[in-house]
Structure 1
Amino acid sequence: MTTRTTSKAVYAPKMTRTRRVNNRTLVIRAGAGETDGNVKFANNKAEFEAVSATAGAGLVAVQISTKTCGPCKVIYPTFVGLSNELPKVTFVKIMGDTDLESRALMKEWGVRVVPLFFLFRNGEKVGEWSGAKADVLRENVLAACNADEK
């Protein structure tokens, strides 16, 4: 008798899809793997303010996504990687289509395209860009970190 032990992997929320192709089940995973690193989640303004308050005068990097955004899922592992690489930076992910409060926040911030990234320092926005290019994400966050050190 053979006993199989399987470990259950934990994937980022809403990041696993299954699809039947030619009578085979494919599992498609786009996400950070087994962990979300140091990324915190906020779904409304109060949650975002609470998370950003813990950063104090430090840098806060925000990724705004939606459940159905493919490029958001592609760039998320890079966002998680940066959160592990830069522990002094607070990384926050906001899903802009989870409920009325998250939609209200997106409207207040003028979000028209996702993925959208913001950088905040001392509660003030110091950077904004959109797109799923990993090198641009890394460059912008590192540049803001270097500005902190000067």
Structure 2
Amino acid sequence: MGNCLRKAHADDDSDHIVELASGNVQLITTKESWDQKLDQARKESKIVIANFSATWCGPCKVIAPHYCELSVKYPSIMFLLVDVDELADFSTSWDIKATPTFFFLKDGKEVDKLVGANKPELEKKIVVVNDVVPHKQ
């Protein structure tokens, strides 16, 4: 929750700071926080969508606001954001070949995947997983 702002580098223009995580998107900064969120999702019977992204990635910046909007629209789903540069070894273990890559997880296991910043396809997949999973009131 809260906001994750792109780190400014010496050669960056501060006008280009991009919000990658807001709404109900939770930034994952450690393997431990990843494990905690997956445990929480399992206990709450929630689907998890993990967005493996990078601050320098143009398509990631384009889809980030949409991903954040979807996190608010679908509160029964847990939306996570993993920076592939911050968690390089962890991202490698997920065989990330391009960013953004979205994994749809149920009980910690991959049930679907989307590579690329395809807004209609992302929402379509979210609707499908949202309809499949029973919601707790």
Tell me whether the two structures share a fold, i.e. TM-score over 0.5. yes
Picking from 13, 24, 31, the partner of 1:18 is 13
Q: Which residue, 38, 55, 66 being the options, matches 1:52?
A: 38
- Structure 2 distance, partners of 1:15, 1:51, is 24
TM-score, length-normalised on structure 2?
Answer: 0.83
Mapped contact 1:64–1:116 kept (Cα < 8 A): yes
Structure 1 runs (4+) deviating above 6 angstroms are none
Q: Deviations over 1:2-26 (max 9, x none)?
A: xxxxxxxx9641188637xxxxxxx
What root-mean-square deviation, in Å, do the aligned CA atoms of Structure 1 and Structure 2 show? 2.3
Matched residue pairs, number? 129
Measured in 2, the distance between the counterparts of 1:120 and 1:39 equals: 15
State how far apart, in whole Å, the 2-side matches of 1:118 and 1:39 are. 14
- Note the 1:1-150 alignment, pairs <5 A: 12-14=4-6, 18=13, 27-28=15-16, 30-31=18-19, 36-56=22-42, 57-98=45-86, 102-149=87-134
TM-score normalised over the length of structure 1: 0.76
**Structure 1: gaps (5+ residues):** 1-9, 20-26
Which structure has the bigger radius of gyration? 1
